[in-house]
Structure 1
Amino acid sequence: MADLRLPTNPIVRPDKDRFLNEENPFEAMMSRFDRAAELLDLEPGIYKVLRSPEKEITVSIPVLMDNGEVEVFTGIRVLHNTSRGPAKGGIRFDMNVSLDEVKALAAWMTWKCAVVNIPFGGAKGGVICDPLKMSVGELERVTRRYTSGIISTLGPDSDVPAPDVNTNERVMAWLMDTYSMHVGHTVNAVTTGKPVEMGGSLGRREATGRGVMFTATQALEHLKMDVKGATVAVQGFGNVGSIGAQLLAEQGCKVVAISDRTGGWHNPKGIDVADAIAYVRKNKTLDGYGKGDVITNEQLLELPVDVLVPAALENVITTKNAKNIKAKIICEGANGPTTAAADTILDEKGIFVVPDILANAGGVTVSYFEWVQNRGGYYWDEETVNDRLRKIMVESFASVLKISQQHKVNMRTAAYMVAISRVATVHRLRGIYA
């Protein structure tokens, strides 16, 4: 790991201590970045480089809809930092996509890749649309036109997208095919999260939830709490939350509450996670599940459990409800579920937070494995993927915990310190091209 004993230099931050909007994701990311940079005594020049995205791309996406009319959508791609390797980050299709959100998520990807020490930089992308109201054909046309609009940045050595909110393996297949048609030959390493038949990695779909399980159990062991019988509440029963819940249950934890956008269910005796997953597979949501007491998503967050896994949306733990959180551990399966302003409240309550850039880094880690397999043309079995993921997640947790204890800071600040130090070290070694 890079040496954290860096030279002392003043950093000029005209917006230091600014906090205009608690729920603005870019401001939240920058406030945490500023805190870690200050503790690292980061040089002013490196600070300026790391706080500024390398590229911000906005494209218009004209699409012929099924009804014969043309709609124009807006697509965004932000490359935050590529000093350690190709940009890596998902693409989401959602009406709430904004430049501020994408910039924050791209920066989070830079820190996430660095904290688990894989050779990628950070990127993120999105299209402002409502995929639930679009046909498969319309989604394909949006994907292909968006891909062609940002194709100058894409490539196995430059920018490697992945699925995110409302995108999936099929969308990545369309993206890979569009890129391949442009360059004249098949390039499966241009994206990750693909179907296995097209070079996707075994274990990729479960990777983020598996990473949550690894870090949550590491936190329990660090706090000398028994994994077997530890109570768990999971907000968000999509891919990450449901798999994380299932794997924690397999480790002996008792999952007592789950929820999705339709609401939640609480059963102090424990929920059969496999049964709940089967119900959602058949019925699409948890609505009507009935195996427990009905609770809201907000009530789930405030249950007295050992481990709380917010695996749904951003900004669900804020200054409005942080004081009511009773969990001993929060393991962040989602990106940005806790606002920066809420961090202080959780610290004061003594809650051990495994931050998103560590807890949910399993997905990007196995995306890295997929990229490596594509580049080498040699594919691993699922046991090998999972073993290598466990090793990286456990070692990364230990690295962050060590800095947390050395500098007497919380795990989030420590994770940022580890990540920023690694990226800054590479910038010093590479120098400034002029």
Structure 2
Amino acid sequence: MVADKPTDSANQKNEKLDVLKSTQTVVKKALDKLGYPNEVYELMKEPVRMMTVRIPVRMDNDQIKIFTGYRAQHNDAVGPTKGGVRFHPNVSEKEVKALSIWMSLKAGIVDLPYGGGKGGIVCDPREMSFRELEGVSRGYVRAISQIVGPTKDIPAPDVFTNSQIMAWMMDEYSRIDEFNNPGFITGKPLVLGGSHGRETATAKGVTICIEEAAKKKGINVEGARVVVQGFGNAGSFLAKFMHDRGAKVIGISDAYGGLHDPDGLDIDYLLDRRDSFGTVTNLFKNTITNEQLLELDCDILVPAAIENQITEDNAHNIKATIVVEAANGPTTLDATRILSERGILLVPDVLASSGGVTVSYFEWVQNNQGYYWTEEEVEEKLHKVIVKGFDNVYRTAETRRVDMRLAAYMVGVRKMAEASRFRGWI
């Protein structure tokens, strides 16, 4: 039996959902809008360095399993590269490349002295023991140790990685380097040089963006109807922060479905019952689909799950006034255009989720100087950085008459382009 070949329309749809290609498309558009020649795009469309590694780990059944890992370093013209390491069965080289470009953009938007980096290991941590996770974490650091370090490339947590995994990685790097260097990695436990506010940083940054966007649209956050897709680290903290600010969180979801209550959900109750992977809806009988959740009538919609959730197929059905992307790439380019044409204010991922890299930068600074800030100091500094970044992007969107995504990319690429120009690279 011969399998049918994909149709042209199917190929076109897959191309539109290609995260790397769509990222490159907007980077090219931003550089063209700013008047840079094509060679600048040629430099920025791919990481300057991409490493693929093979990691042997002895599993609990005494068998050796080989894991594939990646580390991308997009652009180091401004400074060392920076970005998380994710553990997920669907990690791919193309995804890691795209995410490293996004990290460069985030750093540029909030004016951090970094380029973008990203890493990942193809594995399912939900099916691995504590000892196996430690083995793959340490093996990954051994494999990439020559290209990372506090002045080269600084890893951090990402999907399905946490402070414990960062601690193992820091310990392994310290053994190799023969020097206790906490600045090698961020997102560490406080006792190992972590920063106050790091665990909630992404959600705090999204919350600040929601507050700034609400001001632009004349919406009072207190009493606003909020829907959050995704109840993992960012989504759950965000739901809590919005609830504490008096917003009415009327919908949340996880990978298995969503919960909806037009009078507002009991967020504290749900937080008490979610598991470590952000699952909570399996405890309830009356659920809705993620597709239905996205189309709920609300003031503020926050996609905080996975990519390609708002597409040209459902963008016309989005009823929110503001969409704030807490996840990476949840809205396709066609959907971005549709939302913009409908007057919906979309705060793009490269701006909205920059709180994580900002507080990671704060942690790195504290490690380097050996002096640590209080949680209040961290939050105050974070607020200033995110508000400045939001204002810069919003002003660019208005003066250049472009949507917020293109404006954010324009702000992000400009810093990289100018640093590369002064270095004589272009």
> Normalised by the size of structure 1, how large is the TM-score?
0.93
| Deviation of 1:285 (Å) | 2.3
Which structure 1 residue ranges, 5 or more long, are not aligned?
Answer: 1-17
- 3-state DSSP of counterpart to 2:200: helix
Q: Give the aligned residue type for 1:132.
A: R
Query: Could you tell me how far 1:367 is from its partner in structure 2?
Result: 0.3
Within the candidate set 189, 205, 209, 1:211 is matched to 205
2:170 alignment counterpart = 176
Query: What is the letter of the counterpart of residue 164 of structure 2?
Result: R
1:8 corresponds to = none
Q: Does 1:196 align with 2:190?
A: yes
- The residue aligned with 2:4 is none
Distance 1:124 1:260 in 2: 24
- Counting only pairs closer than 5 Å after superposition, residues 20-419 of structure 1 correspond to structure 2 as 21-280=15-274, 285-290=279-284, 294-419=287-412
C-alpha displacement of 1:225: 1.6
Cα shift at 1:399: 0.5
Deviation at 1:410, TM superposition (A): 0.8
| Alignment match, 2:417 | 424
1:432 deviation in Å? 2.6
Contact 1:75 1:125 in 2 (8 A): yes
Q: Structure 2: which 5+ residue stretches go unaligned?
A: 1-11
Structure 1 moving runs of 4+ over 6 Å: none
Deviates more, 1:312-321 or 1:403-412: 312-321
Please state how far the C-alpha of 1:373 moved relative to its aligned partner.
0.4
Aligned residues: 415
How many Å separate the matches in 2 of 1:247 and 1:282? Answer: 19
Contact 1:91 1:126 in 2 (8 A): yes
Structure 1 CA distance, aligned partners of 2:147 and 2:229?
Answer: 35
Cα displacement (A) at 1:272: 2.2
Deviation at 1:293, TM superposition (A): 5.0
Q: CA deviation at 1:429?
A: 1.4
Task: Decide whether aligned partners of structure 1 residues 131 and 281 sit closer, same or farther in structure 2, where only a CA change above 3 A counts.
Answer: closer
Once residues 124 and 138 of structure 2 are traced to their aligned partners in structure 1, the CA distance between those partners, rounded to angstroms, is: 16
Letter in 1 for 2:64: V
Letter in 2 for 1:401: Y
- Distance, in Å, in 1 between the alignment partners of 2:425 and 2:354 is 29
Deviation, 1:166, is 1.0
- Secondary structure of the structure 1 residue equivalent to 2:274: helix
CA–CA distance in 2 between the matches of 1:335 and 1:138?
Answer: 28
Deviations 1:257-309 (A, max 9, x none): 0111121111111112222111215996213554x952111111001111000
Whichever residue aligns with residue 88 of structure 2, its letter is D
| d(CA) in 1 for partners of 2:297, 2:239 | 17
Separation in 2 of the partners of 1:320 and 1:263? Answer: 19
Report the Cα distance in structure 2 between the residues aligned to 1:103 and 1:26, rounded to whole angstroms: 7
**Superposed CA offset, 1:339-382 (max 9, x none):** 12221111222111000000010011000000000001000000
Paired residues of 1:276 and 1:289 also in contact (CA < 8 A): no
Judging changes above 3 Å, is the alpha-carbon distance between structure 1 residues 59 and 298 closer, same or farther for their aligned structure 2 residues? same
Does 42-51 or 326-335 show the bigger shift? 42-51
TM-score by length of 2: 0.95
Structure 1 vs Structure 2 CA RMSD: 1.6
Deviation at 1:52, TM superposition (A): 2.5
- Give the 3 Å change call, closer, same or farther, for CA 346–283 of structure 1 in structure 2: closer
Contact 2:46 2:97 in 1 (8 A): no
How far the C-alpha of 1:19 sits from its partner, in A, is 8.1
Q: Any conservation in 2 of the 1:264–1:286 contact (CA below 8 Å)?
A: no
